[in-house]
């Protein structure tokens, strides 16, 4: 009887030891604002999740694991999980990344002397002369004989005009790929176990998976919402990208 009781207690101990624990927490900014769409990565398990609109997140882990918090425009943060973090919520504060402002050359200021200021800040005499010559040339009427059709040439009939098709997009996929890589940084992709030579290929793979980008390409502008939407879409494609070619 004692042997059976010992075996039963031992089985319970092993089951509880192997039970999966979860780490809960909240991500905020320096000013206390709740941060949505922060990527949370468990380095040991490669598991990833994102914080919700209230900044809360949940990810499986245990004491000793290392969590990485990544969001575009903010310094990435590493946090080692302690036993206390498993038992109580983990509070994370992300700091906005430092933006280096390019050096600006200071030119001569206004003196108040009209003659000197017009020379320093107005167009040069050569530019003014060239501009006037171009204006005179454009104003001249063209001799009709220059534009007249030669004998035997076909002349397009004059009509009400025609459409030349849709307006060309300001960006293409290459432009968007370069913008995403520059905005998120190579470390964002290497954290996802994507090697640097494969980053461009992976971004195109995400595009091919159905990432909606028509408006981005049309106007040549990628908003923060588009950037967050791309990061969420990445999490749905990363597993299939890592899978063997025959399983994709």
pLDDT in tens, 236-246: 999 888 775 44
Q: Which residues contact 29 (CB under 8 A, 6 or more apart)?
A: 35, 74, 93, 94, 96
Instruction: Give the per-residue pLDDT at 227.
Output: 92
145: helix, coil or strand?
helix
**216: closest CA among 158, 156, 159, 172?**
172
Among residues 183, 166, 186, 167, which one has the least CA distance to residue 175?
183
Q: Which residue in 197, 189, 193 sits closest to 46, CA to CA?
A: 193
Would you place residue 210 in the very low, low, confident or very high pLDDT band (cuts 50, 70, 90)? very high
What's the average model confidence in pLDDT over 82-87?
Answer: 86
**Each residue's pLDDT tens digit, 186-203:** 999 999 999 999 999 999
Domains of the chain: 18-94 (2.60.40.1120), 173-238 (no CATH)
Structure tokens given for 84: 């206390």
For the segment 24-79, what is each residue's pLDDT rounded down to a tens digit? 999 999 999 999 999 999 999 989 999 999 999 999 999 999 999 999 889 989 99
């Amino acid at each position: 009887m004692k042997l059976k009781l010992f075996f039963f207690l031992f089985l319970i101990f092993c089951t509880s030891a192997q039970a999966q624990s979860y780490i809960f927490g909240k991500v905020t900014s320096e000013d206390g604002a709740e941060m949505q769409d922060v990527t949370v990565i468990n380095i040991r398990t490669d598991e990833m999740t994102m914080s919700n609109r209230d900044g809360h997140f949940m990810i499986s882990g245990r004491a000793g694991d290392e969590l990485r918090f990544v969001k575009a425009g903010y310094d990435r943060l590493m946090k080692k999980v302690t036993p206390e973090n498993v038992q109580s919520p983990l509070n994370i504060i992300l700091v906005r990344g430092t933006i280096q402002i390019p050096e600006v050359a200071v030119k001569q200021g206004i003196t108040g002397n009209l003659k000197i200021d017009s020379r320093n800040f107005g167009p040069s005499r050569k530019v003014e002369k060239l501009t006037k010559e171009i204006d005179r040339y454009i104003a001249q009427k063209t001799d009709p004989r220059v534009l007249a059709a030669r004998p035997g040439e076909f002349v397009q009939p004059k009509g009400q005009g025609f459409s030349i098709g849709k307006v060309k997009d300001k960006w293409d996929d290459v432009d968007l790929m370069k913008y995403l890589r520059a905005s998120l940084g190579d470390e964002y992709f290497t954290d996802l176990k994507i090697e640097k030579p494969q980053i461009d290929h992976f971004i195109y793979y995400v595009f091919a998976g159905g990432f909606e980008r028509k408006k981005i390409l049309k106007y040549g502008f990628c908003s923060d919402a588009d950037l967050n939407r791309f990061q969420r879409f990445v999490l749905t494609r990363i597993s299939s990208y890592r899978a063997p070619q025959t399983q994709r």
